[in-house]
Amino acid sequence: MALQSSGYISLNDVNVELDNSGTANINMGSADVRDLFDVASGAIAMSDGYGASSVLPITRGIFGGGYAGGASNVLQYVTIAATGNATDFGDLTVARYAIASFSDATRGIWAGATTTIDYVTIASTGNATDFGDLKYSGRSQIGGCADDTRGIYAGTKRIEYITIQTTGNAAIFGNLTSNRTFLAAEADATRGVFAGGGALNTIDYVTIQTTANAIDFGDLLTSYYYGTGSCADATRALWAGGWLSYATYGTIQYSTIQTTGNATSFGGLSVARYRAAGFADTTRGVFGGGNGSTNVIDYVTIQTTGSATDFGNLAVGMDQFAGCSGG
């Protein structure tokens, strides 16, 4: 959301953009208002706010954990709108693989393999901090996605959730439509979608701000045992690569998150692989690693269709890891 680009801006409009009550008292000289209007000092005119948005741009994607000859705690990041090799970010609190990740505008979360959940501040660099524990002990090979406040994890048949800007243990959400692991998960502002895993082509979904069992969404074009890499913008989720019956696939397919139905062909990865990690900004989807610790990173423009393009290399090649981006 953003303030209008012309005409009259009310104090109510400013409050709503700042996620306050529309009738709350507002100080036009406060730090949050000055940040929104980009006026560091002096008087603020309402016209200074034309087009202003409190939503930070998504600039950075972080890959975390994984398998590279053993369990890894490595965090590494890229600038999504650029191309180039990944850079060291810090370390997770526990080395582990077959994990899931999601984020809100500022915080990235990783969980799975152990009960541990930990988090980082995406705009900084440094080691992760303990968040709490998963509800179910030692869950691995799970998928994770989030809206702007709540993150959900799913695998085997269970779904659990956390509130991203708090710390604490996960709580029970509901169940998937089928029992599976190595699934992929993505979300828009309201709906979380879970695809594939366990040699199934199942796609199902939940409304993230509820607690309830998942509902059938449709099917992937191809079922995979080892899950696909995934990413999403505000409307479309992409599912990339996979493994089944000793064959590795580079296919990319997509779903429109607010519809239901079967996935549609998108294109192909630059290198066929499985168990990759993915994330996106508002226009570009990035896929990294997989296939027994490859260092390949490639990207696509999400609202087009076509084959992926080389992005660069991971600082450390990884398999069975997870990525997230913030903004």
Q: To 5 degrees, how large is the angle CA 281–CA 285–CA 290?
A: 130
User: Which residues, 6 or more positions from 251, have their beta carbon under 8 angstroms from its beta carbon?
Assistant: 221, 222, 240, 241, 242, 265, 268, 269
pLDDT given for residue 213 in this prediction: 98
At 137, is the pLDDT very low, low, confident or very high (cuts 50, 70, 90)? low
DSSP per-residue codes, 168-208: S--EEEEEEEEEESS-EEEE-SSEEEEE--TTEEEEEEEET
Average pLDDT of the segment spanning 25-54? 85
Average pLDDT of the segment spanning 64-71? 95
pLDDT given for residue 22 in this prediction: 61
Structure-model confidence comparison of residues 32 and 44, the more confident one = 44
Please tell me the distance from the alpha carbon of residue 199 to that of residue 289, in angstroms, as a whole number: 21
6-22 residue pLDDT tens:
899 888 888 888 877 66
Average pLDDT of the segment spanning 240-244? 93
pLDDT given for residue 13 in this prediction: 87
148-172 residue pLDDT tens:
999 999 999 999 999 999 999 999 9
* Ramachandran sector of residue 33 (left: φ over 0; alpha: ψ -120 to 50; beta: rest): alpha
266-298 residue pLDDT tens:
999 999 999 999 999 999 999 999 998 899 999
At 327, is the pLDDT very low, low, confident or very high (cuts 50, 70, 90)? low
pLDDT given for residue 1 in this prediction: 65
Burial classification of residue 67, based on how many CB atoms lie within 10 Å of its CB (0-12 exposed, 13-18 middle, 19 or more buried):
buried
At 95, is the pLDDT very low, low, confident or very high (cuts 50, 70, 90)? very high
Q: Token match 């100080």: residue? A: 27
At 188, is the pLDDT very low, low, confident or very high (cuts 50, 70, 90)? very high
Average pLDDT of the segment spanning 256-264? 98
In the chain, the percentage of residues whose pLDDT exceeds 70 is 97
Please tell me the distance from the alpha carbon of residue 311 to that of residue 71, in angstroms, as a whole number: 25
pLDDT given for residue 27 in this prediction: 87
pLDDT given for residue 6 in this prediction: 87
Phi, psi dihedral angles at 279 (to 5 degrees): -160, 175
Domains identified in the chain and CATH numbers: 11-49 (no CATH), 60-326 (2.120.10.80)
Q: How far are the Cα atoms of 63, 219, 244 from residue 195, in angstroms, in the given order?
A: 20, 8, 15
Average pLDDT, the chain: 92
In the chain, the percentage of residues whose pLDDT exceeds 90 is 73
pLDDT given for residue 239 in this prediction: 97
- pTM of the complete model beyond 0.75: yes
